[in-house]
Amino acid sequence: MATHDIFEKNSILLAIGIVIVISIAGLIEIVPLYFIGSTIEKVNGMRPYTPLELAGRDIYVREGCYLCHSQMIRPFRDEVERYGHYSLAAESAYDHPFQWGSKRTGPDLARVGNKYSDKWHRDHMNNPRSIVPESVMPGYSFLAKTEIDASRYAAHLRALNWTAQPNGVSKNDTGAMYTKAMIANAAADMKAQAGETDSDEAEALQKRYGGKLNVRDFDGNPDKVTELDAMIAYLQMLGTLVDFKTYNAKANLR
Amino acid sequence: MAHKEIDHITGTETTGHAWDGDLKELNTPLPKWWLTIFWITVVWAIGYMAYYPSWVIGDKNYEGYSKWTARADVHKALEDAQARLAPSFAKLQGASLADIRNDADLSRFATKAGKAVFGDNCVACNGTGANGVFNGSGYPSLVDKDWLWGGKLEDIIETIRVGIRSGHDDERLNTMAAYGGEDGQLTAEQIRNVAGFVLSLSGSTLEGADINKGKAVYLDDGGCNACHGDEGKGGTADVPGAPNLTDSIWLFGKGNVVSSITHGRNAVMPAWDKRLTPAQIKAVAVYVHSRGGGQ
């Protein structure tokens, strides 16, 4: 008993002792994930979100879509047959925070990109029951009426760079999530992506983000960049980035 | 722990500690059953760590005796299913519509597999029963005899494969342009007249429309017949894709005919050749074909 005395008679020491004991389990489980080489798969095609997609993602988080939708196809046959290839860790590389979710009132959205037409998403966001009579999803008709302030997004991209480089943002773009050019052009890129497919600005945007972007008027209103443009741009790219033709599933079993 | 004092009432050891002079605490041992389970769980945990992937060693982790991974599991489940279904899918791939109809097993397999694919991918637009969302929603019913791009099995397969205005290299493409607006081809009056003519083809009327003038617009100024045909019966083999305007089935709604002509319509059906295998596409096409409208 004598050895216990010191903890029993000293509440600060007791608290420190508790913290140490509890952290051991956490440290053993979490810390190795940062060091094992195999945590994140090697894939081709991942790129950071464009400003417009990022705005859509912000709205997704703001509206709490994750409360009813997961973005995590689990490695089970039924899920893979319904939604497509199971989600990879690499696919969440640019998600801060990730949207895996833990509740499915609606279907998983990890690979909903390019599955339906923009018009379907417009109708569905406006009033889900207008096309899926059984739906219990709320309508978000205000998205089409709310314009986005594109000028805010340069700061947003800069902030995300800090999450990728917690020790400070590099001066010469090495290891940066968003390059200086992406940040400088954030507002223009946002407008360009919701505009005409073959404009010069759209071409510059495609180059900056590595091509294959969806560039078009998503919300059916070419005059404005609305939250609905952003939401649909985000939904239409979900799960479409990784090139599964070049992905070696057998080398990434875990 | 030095003094092993026994409490004479219970016969149990005390902690050897005294409070307030004479208050003592019994050191009752843990119950046997509890202790046994505790030790079993400890042994179990060690076995578990040895059998399943567990400890991290450097930048790798110990694979465990079983070398189990969730991903290997799912690949195996998919391969097993594939192996089980491959013969049926292969048979389906090689079968003509008549073959499928004559083979009860094959036909049941195709409609079941097709229904599953339909449920996972198609119901969002075409409704859970394939009967569209409602007349005029812009999402067609697949159970009626009205087809935009053909209702033969091969046509349905192709439409599913490449989509309509989908951006696919072989997409099905035909454009209903906007005829109204400032730089539109027709005036608002002409549009009203031609809409009246179009509605008259299925026995409806439109207030304030001159049908004869509308017919002239249809055949001359508008050139609607190039796609909808001289009689308005819809797309032909040469120029497919335009709806039949005489059957009172309205993709975009009977009340929206003026709007369809003024603003144009270009509904999109996505291409499915990247999401579905050719065999799945065939199965879902057989399912759709069997819903009542197939030709």
**In this structure, are B147 and B18 located in the same domain?**
no
Q: Which of the residues B13, B120, B125 would you substitute to probe the A interface, choosing the one with the greatest number of A C-beta atoms within 10 Å?
A: B125
Q: How far apart are alpha carbons A217 and B182 in whole angstroms?
A: 20
B46 part of a folded domain:
yes
Q: Which of B58, B73, B270 sits opposite A114 (nearest CB)?
A: B270
> B277 to chain A: which residues are within 8 Å by CB?
none
- Prediction ipTM score: 0.85
Q: How far apart are alpha carbons A208 and A181 in whole angstroms?
A: 8
Residue A114 DSSP code: T
Identify which has the larger pLDDT, B173 or B54.
B173
Q: What is the mean pLDDT of chain B?
A: 92
> Residues A182, A157: contact at Cβ < 8 Å?
yes
Q: What amino acid is encoded at A23 in this protein? A: S
pLDDT at position A50 is 97
Run of H or E residues at A18: helix A11-30
Residue of A172, A222, A158, A157 whose CA lies nearest to A194: A222
What's the rounded mean pLDDT across residues B87-101?
Answer: 93
Identify which has the larger pLDDT, B2 or A4.
A4
Say if A222 is an interface residue toward chain B (CB within 8 Å): no
3-state secondary structure of A77: helix
**In this structure, are B77 and B147 located in the same domain?**
yes
B48 part of a folded domain:
yes
B153 part of a folded domain:
yes
In total, how many domains does chain B have? 3
Residue of A212, A247, A246 whose CA lies nearest to A114: A212
Q: What is the crossing angle of helices A153-164 and A51-62, to 10°?
A: 80
Q: Which of the residues A9, A34, A77, A119 would you substitute to probe the B interface, choosing the one with the greatest number of B C-beta atoms within 10 Å?
A: A77
Interface contact A116-B125, CB threshold 8 A: yes
For chain A, list residues with pLDDT below 50. Answer: 1
- Range of lowest pLDDT (B5-19, B75-89, B205-219): B5-19
pLDDT digits (tens, 9 = 90+) for B204-241: 999 999 999 999 999 999 999 999 999 999 988 888 99
What's the rounded mean pLDDT across residues B121-143?
Answer: 88
Last residue of one domain, picked from the residues B61, B84, B100: B61
> B268 to chain A: which residues are within 8 Å by CB?
117-119
pLDDT at position B2 is 53
pLDDT at position B3 is 60
**In this structure, are B108 and B251 located in the same domain?**
no
What's the rounded mean pLDDT across residues B137-147?
Answer: 90
> Residues A73, A108: contact at Cβ < 8 Å?
yes
Q: Any idea which residue has 């009579």 for tokens?
A: A133
Residue B35 phi/psi, 5-degree rounding, is -65, -40
Say if A34 is an interface residue toward chain B (CB within 8 Å): no
Domain with B52 in it: 14-61
pLDDT at position B16 is 80
pLDDT at position B286 is 95
Query: Which whole-number Å values give the CA distances from A118 to A164, B7, B268, B276, B285, in the listed order?
Result: 32, 81, 8, 20, 24
**In this structure, are B241 and B193 located in the same domain?**
yes
B179 part of a folded domain:
no
> Residues B235, B251: contact at Cβ < 8 Å?
no
Q: Which of B78, B128, B270 sits opposite A117 (nearest CB)?
A: B270
B289 part of a folded domain:
yes
Interface contact A116-B270, CB threshold 8 A: yes
Q: Which of the residues B5, B68, B71, B84 would you substitute to probe the A interface, choosing the one with the greatest number of A C-beta atoms within 10 Å?
A: B71
**In this structure, are B77 and B155 located in the same domain?**
yes
pLDDT digits (tens, 9 = 90+) for B39-78: 999 999 999 999 998 888 777 888 899 999 999 999 999 9
pLDDT at position B1 is 47
Q: How far is B103 from chain A (nearest CA, A)?
A: 26
**In this structure, are B231 and B89 located in the same domain?**
no
> B270 to chain A: which residues are within 8 Å by CB?
114-117
Residue B184 zone, left/alpha/beta (φ > 0; ψ -120 to 50; rest)? beta
